[in-house]
Amino acid sequence: MDSYTCTVCAYVYNPEDGDPDAEIDPGTDFDSLPEDWVCPVCGASKAEFEVVE
């Protein structure tokens, strides 16, 4: 599973960690996140994220 970085604030979504504050379980792939999920740091939408290479 790929990690994704927010192009607005550089937060990295790591699927191994999930997003506990948003009740996203560890092991949740970025593509499986709800469409209304936003960056927990700056509130940017999923569209503002890019895969970490």
Strand 12-13 relative to strand 49-51, pairing: unpaired
9 is annotated as contributing to ligand binding: yes
pLDDT surpassing 90 at residue 32: yes
Question: What is the arithmetic mean of pLDDT over 38-53?
Answer: 97
| Structure confidence at residue 53 as a pLDDT band (50, 70, 90) | confident
State the Cα–Cα distance between residues 20 and 24, nearest whole angstrom: 5
Cβ burial of 37 (10 Å; 0-12, 13-18, 19+) is middle
Q: Does domain 3-52 correspond to CATH entry 2.20.28.10? A: yes
pTM above 0.95, yes or no: no
15 is annotated as contributing to ligand binding: no
12 is annotated as contributing to ligand binding: no
pLDDT surpassing 90 at residue 18: yes
Give the residue extent of every domain in the chain.
3-52
Write down the mean pLDDT value for the chain.
97
What would the two tokens of residue 51 be? 């895969």
Report the amino acid identity of residue 24: I
Q: For the sheet containing 49-51, what is the strand order?
A: 12-13, 4-6, 49-51
42 is annotated as contributing to ligand binding: yes
Question: What is the arithmetic mean of pLDDT over 8-13?
Answer: 98
